[in-house]
Structure 1
Amino acid sequence: MSVHEWRCEALPSMSAVALYRMLKLRSEVFVVEQQCIYLDPDGLDEGAWHLQALDANGALLAYARLLAPEAAASHAQGSVAPTPSRAAAGRPGQPAARIGRVITAPSARGTGLGRQLMQQALAACERLWPGMAIELGAQAHLQDFYASFGFTAISDVYDEDGIPHIDMRRSVSG
């Protein structure tokens, strides 16, 4: 599957069509396919950067949400109930950007686009927040995938919406 264009933009500059496609893909996969009933628009999209891979017709093939360190810190403190297994996440005094809502459209899976998405996300984070560590909450079965990009586990496995997850961090040195 060929990517025609990569876009990384803040919400005010996104078109209504791009916003709709982003929310539709996130709902199709996270809510319907993975059967997780939760409110996807969580208040963080407005201050985030949105990385999108588009095909030649403008269809959204892959997406990731990038949060600045200050937004990521408030996310870690408020969006998920604290548990002992999540104690290492959002380590006080250790700011980090955050990559989240990582998704590849069902039609683009198995093409290597997920790897390209992560490479683009890491490059965008470095441009936006140079020298900053990066964190993410990975589905546990993808721990090795994220480890291949230099992420290491910083929590035990925990349940989020019925799916095992693990918090991971990529240090400044990568």
Structure 2
Amino acid sequence: MSRSYKISEWSDLSRDELYACVRLRIDVFVVEQDCSYPDLDGKDMNSLHVFADLTYEDLTVGASTDAYLRICKPGISYKEPSIGRVVTSKSVRGQGLGYEIMQKGIEVCSKKWPNTGIRISAQKYLVKFYENLDFKVCSEPYLEDDILHVQMFRS
């Protein structure tokens, strides 16, 4: 399933885009994963936002997107660029959108910051997913927001 994606700085996001991206993150990371920690962590304003084209299927709910990720610029989370907040809506899981948007994120990082590598903080149960994208585990497991994570790096 191939989608088109938009890449935006925080200041360039429209209200509909911001709403759709934040809504998907909250729906999954706070509600679905039952994680009562704030999703908005102060890093969004200095990051790039990559998301699938918006849809307006239900006008009572507003704009929505099926896939999103955030790229923190070097120096925000780590010395390297970092991909995080990778999320797909429940309705499209299993269709390859997570892999597809990660490939887009890797492509963006490689073009903007060549030869720096990419570091991520991955939920432990997703290690195989990220290994399929050439990330390697580079830390012991640790708790982040009460969920087991590991750091991974891609050269």
- Normalised by the size of structure 1, how large is the TM-score? 0.81
CA deviation profile, 1:25-48 (whole Å, cap 9, x unmatched): 100000000011111111100010
Q: Secondary structure at the match of 2:81?
A: strand
Code of the residue aligned with 2:27 in structure 1: it is E
Does 1:97 pair with 2:85?
no
C-alpha separation in 1, matches of 2:30 and 2:43: 18
Question: Corresponding residue for 2:72?
Answer: 67
For the 8 Å contact 1:157–1:165, the answer to whether it is kept is yes
Question: Corresponding residue for 1:51?
Answer: 50
Q: Secondary structure at the match of 2:29?
A: helix
Cα 1:29–1:56 shift into 2, 3 Å: closer
Cα displacement (A) at 1:11: 0.7
For the 8 Å contact 2:24–2:64, the answer to whether it is kept is no
Cα displacement (A) at 1:18: 0.5
Q: Secondary structure at the match of 1:156?
A: coil
C-alpha separation in 1, matches of 2:2 and 2:73: 29
C-alpha separation in 1, matches of 2:64 and 2:5: 12
Q: Secondary structure at the match of 1:165?
A: strand
C-alpha separation in 1, matches of 2:81 and 2:55: 30
Question: Corresponding residue for 1:112?
Answer: 96
Q: Percent identity?
A: 38
Structure 1 segment 132-171 matched on structure 2, within 5 A: 132-171=116-155
Question: Corresponding residue for 1:131?
Answer: 115
For the 8 Å contact 1:50–1:64, the answer to whether it is kept is yes
For the 8 Å contact 2:51–2:68, the answer to whether it is kept is yes
C-alpha separation in 2, matches of 1:166 and 1:113: 22
Cα displacement (A) at 1:161: 2.0
C-alpha separation in 2, matches of 1:122 and 1:112: 16
Code of the residue aligned with 1:107 in structure 2: it is S
Q: Secondary structure at the match of 2:143?
A: strand
Cα displacement (A) at 1:158: 1.4
Number of residue pairs matched?
A: 149
